[in-house]
Every structure is written in structure tokens, then in C-alpha cells.
Amino acid sequence: MYYRLYWLRVVIHVFFTRQLLRFLPQRLQTKIWARIHGVIQNKRMFPLVYREYVIYRIIKDHFVRSSGPSSILEFGCSNGTLTRRALHFVDVEGGADADVFYFAFDTFEGLPEGDDKTDFRFASVDNRIGGNWAAGSFAADFKTLDNSLKAAGHTNYRLVKGLFGDSLTGSVLEEISKRPPFLIVVDCDYYTSTKEIFEKIFPVIKSGTIFYFDDTHLNYYSTMTGELKAIQEVNDGVFGEGYELVEAHKLGMLGRRFYHFVSTRGETIKAAEGEDLKRRVLMAPEIDTPMADGGHIVRKSSKSA
């Protein structure tokens, strides 16, 4: 699997630093250790690899706990790197009978014009300043992605072209409501785009849905801009009472990127019909994925292990 590259680096790092470096002068030990550690914690590679590992675990856990029609939504698929891998994970864990449909939304023309105050990348957590996005960034070819997904044998997907506010039509939202999403990926960079998603999607998704946000780390995790501003507004009641996005700390080390959607307005995500609750809790993996029983979200605890 893709995420194994990261753990291989960790193993090499631990072995090399603890076994070999002890024979070298301390100054040289420090320089080599820092260089290897820097490769492991690479600001670009580490989040990508670990993100895919957690998404794989979420998909795997979904098939352990649930049955019936469901879906994954991805907003901002661009050239489809994550789209391909997530569909592959569905095939591997769900098999030929997996009833999971993948909706991938994108303009395929790149980013639209953004708002000067809420949509730009003024800074990042790694202290790189500037480099604001420009309209047209991350453009991708619709037909190329569609053909590559077909060539890989995928049929359980739909590419939806256009701005999110336009492409989330009544008919699309109806399709989604019939296939409750258990995972929603938001990689649209902008506050304004994230806001459009929330306004449209909240009424048709269930409490317990997991959100992954790719760009909450920008501007030092500021809630004044970008995706994190929209998340903050959800929790402040701007999108209406009864909605909350709660950080899913047990889903990984990526900081404020994975969230549980909680709603007092609708249904919760349900486990497989007739499946024994005790068995589900005992079999549940270590990640903190929600399931419902009688309207209450149930999570694995150390007492049930």
C-alpha cells in the first residue's frame, strides 16, 4: 500500500539512528539524524502518505460496520490522484459487490477568482510566506481523468463539472441523500467554496459523516481565512443551529484536518442491518469512526477490547 512508504522510512530512521550513528562523532550524528528526520517529516510527502493511510482505514472500517448504499464525496479532485486511490481502496476492501458510489466535483478549469481577505494563502505552518493562488490553478482535463478511471475498471463514480454552488443541483443532492456519504473530502482551498459546499450538503448528510479538509493548515490554522473559517462558522451557528464539526483526534496525526459531522437535525449513520452491537464494538479498529445504535454514536473504548 501507498502508506507503507512512510513506515519504511520510520523503520530505517530508527534503525540507523540507534544502531549506526552511535559510532560517529556527536556533531556528525546530529547532522545525519536531522537530515534523515527531515526526510520522514517532509512537509509535502508526510501529509500525503498519511492522509491516504487514514482514508484507507476509514473505508476499511466502513465495510466492517455498514451495509447498504453509501457514497464518498470529493470536492476539488483536480487530476484525480486521491480519486484513483480511494476507488482502489473501495475495490480492495469492498470487493465486486461494494455498493459505494464516488462523486468527484471540480470545475476542471482550475480555481475561480477568490476573495482578497478570506480565500488566499498568506502564510503556511511551515513559515513559507506568499505564493497566493491564482485563478486557473490546479486545472485538469475532465476526459483524461474519466478515461483513466475507466481504464482502471472503475464504474462506481461520477465526475461532476462546475462550481460547487452550481453542480450541487437538486437532482445530485437527491442522489446523495439516497446514498449517505460516510466520507467527504474537501480540497477546494477557498473559504467561499467551502461555504457553498456546507450550505448545500448539510441538509442531506447524516450525523457521523467524516470530513477530511486538505487546507486547514494554511495561514497558521487561522480561522479568519480558508476552510477553517467555514468550519468555525459551522460551530458558531452561522449555518443554522444543530450542526457541529468536531475534530477527530483519533483519526491521525494530521492535526485539524479530520472532523466528525454532528447534527441534531437528522439521522445518524447506521451499522449493517441486524448486526450485533457487541460484536461490532469488539471488532472495531482503533480509529474513532462513528456508528449508530438507537440514535447514539458508539465508539470503541478500551473497556470493550
Residue 244 in domain = yes
Residue 41 in domain = no
The H or E element spanning position 100 is strand 100-106
Residue-range definition of the domain harbouring residue 214:
68-304
The CATH number given to whatever domain includes residue 292 is 3.40.50.150
Residue 33 in domain = no
With the C-alpha atoms ordered 149, 168, 265, 68, is the resulting torsion angle positive or negative?
negative
What is the domain count for the chain?
A: 1
Residue 39 in domain = no
| Residue 9 pLDDT | 61
Residue 108 in domain = yes
| Residue 133 pLDDT | 72
Q: How many residues does the chain have?
A: 305
Residue 21 in domain = no
Calculate the CA 36 to chain-centre distance: 28
- Residues 206-231 have pLDDT tens digits of 999 999 999 888 888 889 989 999 99
Q: Are 59 and 91 in contact (CB under 8 A)?
A: no
Instruction: State the virtual CA torsion across 45, 230, 180, 63 in degrees, nearest 10.
Output: 30
| C-alpha cell read off for 303 | 473497556
| Residue 110 pLDDT | 82
The DSSP call for residue 213 is E
pLDDT band at 167 (very low <50, low <70, confident <90, very high): very high
pLDDT (mean) for 29-42: 64
Residue 266 in domain = yes
Whether the pLDDT of residue 10 is over 70: the answer is no
Residue 82 in domain = yes
pTM: 0.75
